[in-house]
Amino acid sequence: QQQVKQSPQSLIVQKGGISIINCAYENTAFDYFPWYQQFPGKGPALLIAIRPDVSEKKEGRFTISFNKSAKQFSLHIMDSQPGDSATYFCAASMKGVTTDSWGKLQFGAGTQVVVTP
């Protein structure tokens, strides 16, 4: 079953607008939440990541908001640009008491973002 649920499936935003993508998880053992950006023909590239001890992290135009009690986190892309048109994936992983769970990224289904000029 999908351990990380991502919405919306697709998003169209005008240049200069804000893109918001949401993710929810069930497993409270997750302790690392990265966002990846993927362009056609390329592998996912790490965009920004957060740990549950902070509620927000900002890097340039990209901000992650994290709500531990609601088990939700979101990506905000401010001042969206046509070059931001890509598929975005949220993910989660945990460092458990055994090595079985280390390093295994659980991905959301992805959100295709289109920024119109």
Partner 1 sequence: KAGVTQTPRYLIKTRGQQVTLSCSPISGHRSVSWYQQTPGQGLQFLFEYFSETQRNKGNFPGRFSGRQFSNSRSEMNVSTLELGDSALYLCASSLMVGSDGYTFGSGTRLTVV
Can you give the binding site for partner 1, defined by CB under 8 A? 2, 32, 34, 36, 41-46, 49, 89, 93, 95, 99-110
Closest to partner 1 by CB, 4 vs 80, is 4
Q: Residue 111 in 3-state DSSP? A: strand
Amino acid 8 reads: P
**What are the tokens at 72?**
């939700």
**Cβ of residue 116: shortest distance to partner 1, in angstroms?**
24
**Cβ of residue 117: shortest distance to partner 1, in angstroms?**
27
Give the β-pairing of 86-92 and 33-38: antiparallel
d(CA 21, CA 82): 17
**Cβ of residue 65: shortest distance to partner 1, in angstroms?**
19
**Cβ of residue 98: shortest distance to partner 1, in angstroms?**
10
Closest to partner 1 by CB, 44 vs 113, is 44
Closest to partner 1 by CB, 43 vs 117, is 43
**What are the tokens at 83?**
């070059």
Q: Residue 74 in 3-state DSSP? A: strand
Closest to partner 1 by CB, 82 vs 103, is 103
List the beta bridge partners of residue 24.
Answer: 5, 72
